[in-house]
Amino acid sequence: MKTTRIRTVLEMIKFEHSVFALPFALTGALLAARATHQPPRGWPSVRQIFWIIVAMVAARSAAMTMNRIADLRYDRENPRTKQRALATGALTLQFAWFFTLAAVTAFLLAAWQLNSLALKLAPLAIAILFFYSFTKRFTNWSHLFLGFALGISPAAAWIAITGGLDWRMLILCAAVTLWVGGFDVLYACQDVDYDQHAGLFSVPKKFGIANALVIARGMHIGVIALLAWLAFSLGLPWPAWAGIAVVASLLAYEHSLVKADDLSKLDAAFFTVNGYISMLFLLFWGAAAAVWRV
């Protein structure tokens, strides 16, 4: 019974999707330690990595649960989402609020364990994460708010390592914002009919699916441009550029899977390809950090 409850909770927060943001946070941590020569020998400590992971998982768990709480009425009405745990009653609203509070507490604890600036900024980070859940009610560009909610992770990791922030991390934040925003535009194409019925806002609803695919493509071209700018500004070695080429190839493949008149492969584009993108980005940029002469 307990195993079933745990599985239901993990499904509610889409725990497996932590792979989307966590590698970018870890990349930010690696670059921060190497650039500032943080001990040990220019690498993050095991303790720092542990608390960064705790902070990322806790913050994301809180944000996802708040999203489900805020969207409960819509989840019950939408044919695509009506089997979610809160919508079916598999988990209660009271439990969801308790879980959110527990996740926020874990996030604040992790921030406290990292450094004073991380703790001071932690409430702002939670506010940003929670605010996203309400944006689809008043703007077509909620996708970018979601992107920004995940996009702050590299900057947060830099702060966690150094206690300060290098402006160049904002380039990586912008890249992650466009990356997530772009694939969320693709994902939202599934809900155009429901969004019209419910009075919700999205890029596909506003501009149509065909134009939404073009907009998502433009966002992802922006990702590549921003990553190139960051690699150049930091003077990163060749593995970083190889990683950019891999990301560009996978994004091109992702867009090849989705057509305006055929969204049947959207799940593959959303889950599998984007998971590979984030993990391979960490692999290549981690290698670049290892051989980087700062």
**What residue spans define the domains of the chain?**
14-285
Q: Is the pLDDT of residue 144 over 80?
A: yes
Mean pLDDT of 224-240: 97
Q: In this structure, are residues 185 and 229 in contact, taking their beta carbons and an 8 Å threshold?
A: no
Q: What is the pLDDT of residue 212?
A: 97
What's the mean per-residue pLDDT of the chain? 91
Q: Is the pLDDT of residue 13 over 70?
A: no
Cα–Cα distances in Å, from 238 out to 29, 223, 286?
A: 19, 18, 12
Q: Is the pLDDT of residue 3 over 70?
A: no
Locate 106 and state its tokens. Answer: 């874990």
Q: In this structure, are residues 85 and 50 in contact, taking their beta carbons and an 8 Å threshold?
A: no
Q: Is the pLDDT of residue 271 over 60?
A: yes
Q: What is the pLDDT of residues 86-128, one digit of tens each?
A: 888 888 999 999 999 999 999 999 999 999 999 999 999 999 9
Q: What is the pLDDT of residue 293?
A: 83
Q: What is the pLDDT of residue 263?
A: 86
Four-CA torsion 51, 55, 57, 58, nearest 10 degrees: 130
Q: Using a cut of 0.95, tell me whether the model's pTM lies above it.
A: no
Query: Is the four-CA dihedral 174, 179, 183, 185 of positive or negative sign?
Result: positive
Q: Report the topology of domain 14-285.
A: Tetracycline Repressor; domain 2 (1.10.357)
For residue 61, the Cα-to-chain-centroid distance in whole angstroms is: 12
At residue 17 the predicted structure's pLDDT band, cuts being 50, 70 and 90, is low
Helix axes 142-151, 116-132, angle to 10 degrees: 160
93 vs 21 pLDDT, higher one: 93
* Whole-angstrom distance, CA of residue 237 vs CA of residue 124: 34
Facing residues of 262 across strands? 259
- In a 13 Å sphere around the CA of 20, the CA atoms on its Cβ side amount to 23
Residues 6+ apart with CB under 8 A from 226: 171, 172, 174, 175, 178
Q: What is the pLDDT of residue 268?
A: 65
At residue 85 the predicted structure's pLDDT band, cuts being 50, 70 and 90, is confident
